[in-house]
Amino acid sequence: MSSQLWQRFPLERGLRALDMKDRLQERIGKDVSGASPEELVAYFREASRRFRRGVRCNAPEPESLPSAVRDADRTPDGV
């Protein structure tokens, strides 16, 4: 990652990365509980936008939907 990013977000002594990961996973699990595939994509796209704004990254938005969303309305028979 760029040095500018590390200047904005310096390493913190005593950072408990695994504890933080577990808390974030719990929060995301609560946020997306019972969500449809389309709602999951919308949730993570918004989270991605917030992250990119936070680090001032101007990455382009993806133009197509992931295959899981495109195929979500298909029945198990493929019809």
Q: What string of H, E and C letters represents the secondary structure of the chain?
A: CCHHHHHHCCCCCCCCHHHHHHHHHHHHHHHHCCCCHHHHHHHHHHHHHHHHHHCCCCCCCCCCCCHHHHCCCCCCCCC
State the pLDDT confidence band at 62, using cuts at 50, 70 and 90: low
> Looking at the domain assignment, is residue 19 inside a domain?
no
Q: Could you tell me the pTM of the whole model?
A: 0.51
State the pLDDT confidence band at 10, using cuts at 50, 70 and 90: confident
What pLDDT, in 10s, does the model give residues 24-45? 999 999 999 999 999 999 999 9
Domain encompassing residue 49: 35-60
Computed over every residue of the chain, the mean pLDDT equals: 77
> Looking at the domain assignment, is residue 20 inside a domain?
no
> Looking at the domain assignment, is residue 51 inside a domain?
yes
Q: How many domains does the chain have?
A: 1
Whole-number Å distance between alpha carbons of 24 and 17 = 10
> Looking at the domain assignment, is residue 49 inside a domain?
yes
> Looking at the domain assignment, is residue 52 inside a domain?
yes
> Looking at the domain assignment, is residue 55 inside a domain?
yes
State the pLDDT confidence band at 58, using cuts at 50, 70 and 90: low
